[in-house]
A and B are shown apart, each in its own frame.
Chain A
Amino acid sequence: DVKVTQSSRYLVKRTGEKVFLECVQDMDHENMFWYRQDPGLGLRLIYFSYDVKMKEKGDIPEGYSVSREKKERFSLILESASTNQTSMYLCASSLLLAGGNQETQYFGPGTRLLVL
């Protein structure tokens, strides 16, 4: 079974702090993703990565950065946390299929971040 783990289930930080959210997958997947989920808005893509050291902006990258130094690990960084970044953060990974569609994304358990 694919396993995607996230470093924390719950996190409380103060405004202005630098926050690191870590995600690790154990299935040698090329693609990794960070989403945030807010009530009534569904999931919105922040950043994704299709290879080590490669990253692409998603729909809402402002205020975030990412790092992928190893294939299995994808980190989301909030450089200076703000209260509007209070949210549920979900990491996902998927296998790269050349020209294909059927790459199911497997999700981690999520991190509920509260910024005070």
Chain B
Amino acid sequence: AQKITQTQPGMFVQEKEAVTLDCTYDTSDPSYGLFWYKQPSSGEMIFLIYQGSYDQQNATEGRYSLNFQKARKSANLVISASQLGDSAMYFCAMRTPYSGAGSYQLTFGKGTKLSVIP
């Protein structure tokens, strides 16, 4: 069974500083995908960044980068130059390849609430 662990229920960061949100995962499948989503207080889940298990380089999308350490099974999200609008819940999620019914789903962590301080 797949499992995602986010050990930080809440984080604070000063505006313009960088912050790292932790995510560890557990799977026996060699092929998988890792996602990060942002959920502002309005409720919608916004896709931020994706990392495939066979990707050689860490994913980057603007101010977001993923620190992927496969041997340690960690996929930490790094947000550079934090902005007030980054205050939100952040969820790490994992998907494994289709191998029958039940494999299309994402497994989510419990989330980290990030608060950016002016």
* A positions within 8 Å CB-CB of B: 9, 31, 33, 40-45, 48, 50, 56, 58, 88, 90, 92, 94, 96, 99-110, 112
Contacts and interface: CB of A to CB of B under 8 A. Distances in A.
Given A56-B101, A90-B45, A43 B91 contact: yes
Given A40-B110, A42-B109, A110 B91 contact: no
Interface of B: 31-33, 35, 37, 42-47, 50, 52-53, 91, 93, 95-98, 101-102, 104-106, 108-111
Given A101-B31, A101-B33, A104-B50, A42 B108 contact: yes
Given A31-B104, A33-B105, A45-B105, A100 B43 contact: no
B95 A41 contact: no
Give the secondary structure class of B's interface.
loop
A102 B110 contact: no
A7 to B, nearest CB: 14
B108 A43 contact: yes
Given A31-B104, A101-B32, A105-B35, 7 more contacts: A88-B43, A96-B104, A101-B96, A104-B50, A107-B37, A107-B46, A109-B42
